[in-house]
Amino acid sequence: MNFTKSLLRAKLLSTSLQSKLSTTTKVSPPRLFDYQTIKNNLKPSIESILAVENAFGMLAKDQVDVPIPMHIGIHETALAGPGDCHIKGGYIEGALTWTVKLANVSFYKNLQKGLPAGSGIFIVCDATNGAPLGIFQENRYLTDLRTGAAGAISVKYFGSSKKHKKVAYIGTGVIAMAMAEGSHCVHKFTSGYAFGLDPKQVNEFADEITSKLGYPMTVCATA
């Protein structure tokens, strides 16, 4: 990955949103960032990891408002569902923006239609006047990026000794890959092990790790 380009692109996206912050009485409509734009411009990076790490630090100082998530159950009927909607958000004290995430998950009937089982958006709002600034059609991409960053922070502080060269993954789904890519930004492993319940998925995961991150993987029969 070219992390330098990723950082520059991420800064451009951030700048474009910040430019909407205004003290005038006119409120502009929020800017829409589609899924492909987000994927093309935001990648696992030191910058994203530091942002999440800073948020954890502010949370520990009781300077973050994170309300209890809201849940809407879409029960299966002849016309709709099944599925779930989760609404989460937070504000870091003193920041110019806050964010609300709407995640729609577990729409498993979508798989029969060739659609993903989950989707979602982030809404970034102006903390000076309350106006929505941007809508990110992230479809879980930013969610996974953030989760991977949290895993990277764990590696940074609990497994960052240079002598640790091996890593093991228990479970080999989307979150495991996010953790692997995030951790790669802060620590370079030289070999890895993987165990999962789906043999096909485990092998694909191992191949992808080797291809993307450059270290060999051993698929294990048991945890």
Average pLDDT over residues 16-21: 57
Same domain? 71 vs 166 = no
Is the peptide bond prior to 116 cis by the omega test (within 30 degrees of 0)? Answer: no
Same domain? 124 vs 180 = no
Same domain? 111 vs 193 = no
| pLDDT tops 80 at residue 161 | no
Q: Is residue 153 domain-resident?
A: no
pLDDT of residue 25: 63
How far is CA 40 from each of CA 115, 133, 177, rounded to the nearest angstrom?
21, 20, 18
Q: Is residue 89 domain-resident?
A: yes
> Domain holding 79: CATH number?
3.30.1780.10
The tens digit of pLDDT for each residue in 81-131 reads 999 999 999 999 999 999 999 999 999 998 888 888 889 999 999 999 999
> Domain holding 207: CATH number?
3.40.50.720
pLDDT of residue 164: 87
The range of the structural domain enclosing residue 44 comes to 3-145
Query: Of 145, 176, 193, which one is at a domain's C-terminal end?
Result: 145
Query: Of 115, 145, 175, which one is at a domain's C-terminal end?
Result: 145
Q: Is residue 156 domain-resident?
A: no
Same domain? 139 vs 191 = no
Number of domains in the chain: 2
pLDDT of residue 1: 44
Average pLDDT, the chain: 89
Same domain? 171 vs 210 = yes
End-to-end Cα distance, the chain: 30
Helices (H) and strands (E) in the chain, counts: 6, 10
69: Cβ contacts below 8 Å, ≥ 6 apart: 86, 87, 88
Average pLDDT over residues 64-73: 96
The tens digit of pLDDT for each residue in 146-159 reads 999 999 999 998 85
Same domain? 82 vs 52 = yes
Percent above pLDDT 70 for the chain: 87
The tens digit of pLDDT for each residue in 97-107 reads 999 999 999 99
Scored b (16 or more CB within 10 A) or e, 54-68 reads ebeebeeeeebeeee
Q: Is residue 151 domain-resident?
A: no
Statement: the pTM of the whole predicted model exceeds 0.85: no
Average pLDDT over residues 39-54: 94
d(CA 218, CA 206): 7
Same domain? 137 vs 168 = no
Same domain? 81 vs 167 = no
Confidence of residue 46 (pLDDT cuts 50, 70, 90): very high
Same domain? 17 vs 123 = yes
Which span out of 11-15, 78-82, 98-102 was modeled with the highest average pLDDT? 98-102
Report which of residues 173 and 163 the model is more confident about: 173
pLDDT of residue 14: 57
Same domain? 123 vs 172 = no
Question: What 3-state DSSP class applies to 101?
Answer: strand
Q: Is residue 154 domain-resident?
A: no
Same domain? 92 vs 141 = yes
| pLDDT tops 60 at residue 211 | yes
| pLDDT tops 50 at residue 39 | yes
Confidence of residue 162 (pLDDT cuts 50, 70, 90): confident
Q: Is residue 72 domain-resident?
A: yes
Same domain? 132 vs 183 = no
